[in-house]
Amino acid sequence: MGQIVKTLTRNRRSEEITAYLFLLPVAVLWFIWFLIPTAYSMFISLYKYSFVAVSQNHFVGLGNYIRVLKDPDFYKALKNTLFLTFVAVPAQSLIAFLLAIALNLRIKFRDVFRTIYYVPYVVSTIAVTTVFMYLFVKGSPLTRLFSLFGLDNVTWYVDFKLALPFITIVYVWQQIGFYIVIFLSGLQTVPRELYESSEVDGASPFQRTIYITVPMLKPVIFMVLVYGMIHALQVFDQVAAVAQNQPLGSPAGATSTLVSFFYVQSFKNWEMGYGSAIAVIIFAIIFIFTMIQKKFIGNEE
């Protein structure tokens, strides 16, 4: 008996060592490339810190944080980011969900459609945004179409009111493919017997979706929402593409997001300490959102 226990313990320890050995490279890289920069960023957020005038750097305590909280441009960026997040995340989740259901049906060229929907996600964001910019130039078929619904026939990405919706459209269009894949993998796990039984009971396709698919996919839906929100809170590429040679967030800060605001302060204005304070605040915001959602997931489970 004692020998068996000894062998089991030895095997278990051996497995643990093997596991740690496999984890080691990633852990070391994570430590070097993530933990140290994060800690250093938090450290310099307490300094007036410029990477070009190192001799003038000095400790300012929470000064940078107070400055961020008093900066109207920060609130503008926060407002834009929240708008984008609360519009884009539900929109992309709903569209991806519906398309995933459609692509889960036994239709012709199903695999072709799956590929087509996924392609935008792997294409460069700058390229996608640039193409959309051509589509939304004043006088294009799309802007003319929208003008029939009461919108001005203007270049969307230079219009103060339409620039952010433009970014949101580009963002949603590009993200959908990824979430379709997530939903499709979730749909594969729903037992077919449930649908067959409900069909026998006379449930319509709509009822089957609402009463079977949605409840069964709840963990996937929450995952999509959490991941979508974390990602949306960090939008940058589309903003940079729209800005072209103009200041980031153009026109006039209408597309400024938290990350673009951080970038401008850190790398354009060379105020790394102030930028780091913004980065820490962005981290805190994402952390809070994630915790709130995690609480919901916990409750659901």
Partner 1 sequence: MKNYFKKLCLVFAVCFVFVTLLAGCSGTKEPTGGSEKDDASDTQKETEQVEEVVYKLGYFSNQYDSTYQKAIENIEKAIPGVKMELVFYPTDKDYWDNLPAHIAAGTAPDLAAMTNEKHMDFISNGLILPIDESLVDLSALYPKAVDAWKYDGKLYGIPLTAQPEAFIINMDMWEEAGLTDLPETLEDVKEAARVLTKGDVKGLCINNHEFHLTQYALAFGGGWGYGETIDTPENARAIQFLIDMYREGLAVTPKEVGLGWDGEVFAKGLCAMTTGGTWYVATLAEMAPDMNYKMIPLPKGDTYGSTLHSLAIVVLKTAKDPDVASKIAAYLVRDEVQEVAMNDAGAPPSSIAMSNAYFENNPIVKDLKPVLDYAQPFAYPKEGQKFTEALIKEFDEAIYTKDSTKTGADIVRNVQELFK
b/e per residue, 153-186, with b = 16+ CB within 10 A?
Answer: ebbbbbbeebbbbbbbbbbbbbbbbbbbbbbbeb
By CB under 8 A, the count of residues binding partner 1 is 41
| Residue 160 touching partner 1 (CB under 8 A) | yes
| Residue 49 touching partner 1 (CB under 8 A) | no
Nearer to partner 1, 154 or 184 (CB): 154
* Residue choice 4, 21, 122, 148 for contact with partner 1 (CB under 8 A): 21
- List 59's β-bridge partners, or say none: 47
| Residue 36 touching partner 1 (CB under 8 A) | no
Quote the crossing angle between the two packed helices 72-104 and 110-122, to the nearest 10°.
160
Whole-angstrom distance, CA of residue 229 vs CA of residue 92: 11
* Residue choice 68, 264, 279, 280 for contact with partner 1 (CB under 8 A): 264
Whole-angstrom distance, CA of residue 133 vs CA of residue 141: 13
User: 229 to 248, contacts with partner 1 by CB under 8 A?
Assistant: 244-247
8 A C-beta contact, residue 293 and residue 266: no
Least distance CB 5 / partner 1 (angstroms): 18
| Residue 16 touching partner 1 (CB under 8 A) | no
| Residue 202 touching partner 1 (CB under 8 A) | no
Helices (H), the chain: 2-30, 36-44, 63-70, 72-104, 110-122, 125-135, 141-147, 163-187, 192-200, 205-208, 214-216, 218-232, 237-243, 258-263, 272-300
Nearer to partner 1, 96 or 248 (CB): 248
User: 90 to 149, contacts with partner 1 by CB under 8 A?
Assistant: 133-134, 137-139
Nearer to partner 1, 56 or 299 (CB): 56
| Residue 250 touching partner 1 (CB under 8 A) | yes
Around Cβ 293, how many Cβ atoms within 10 Å? Answer: 17
Which window, 18-26, 98-106, 184-192, 291-299, contacts partner 1 (CB under 8 A)? 18-26
Which window, 78-86, 121-129, 230-238, 263-271, contacts partner 1 (CB under 8 A)? 263-271
Long-range contacts of 52-55 (CB under 8 A, 24+ apart): 52/270, 53/270
Nearer to partner 1, 176 or 264 (CB): 264
Nearer to partner 1, 22 or 59 (CB): 22
Tokens 């960090």 — which residue? 234
* Residue choice 128, 158, 280, 281 for contact with partner 1 (CB under 8 A): 158
Residue 60 DSSP one-character state: -
CA–centroid distance for 201 within its chain: 40
Which window, 34-42, 104-112, 194-202, 267-275, contacts partner 1 (CB under 8 A)? 267-275
Nearer to partner 1, 24 or 62 (CB): 24
| Residue 278 touching partner 1 (CB under 8 A) | no
**Residue 40 C-beta-side C-alpha neighbours within 13 Å:** 9
> For residue 18, which amino acid is it?
T
8 A C-beta contact, residue 210 and residue 184: no
**Footprint of partner 1 on this chain (CB under 8 A)?**
14, 17-18, 21-22, 24-25, 28-29, 50-54, 133-134, 137-139, 152, 155, 157-161, 244-247, 249-254, 264, 267-270
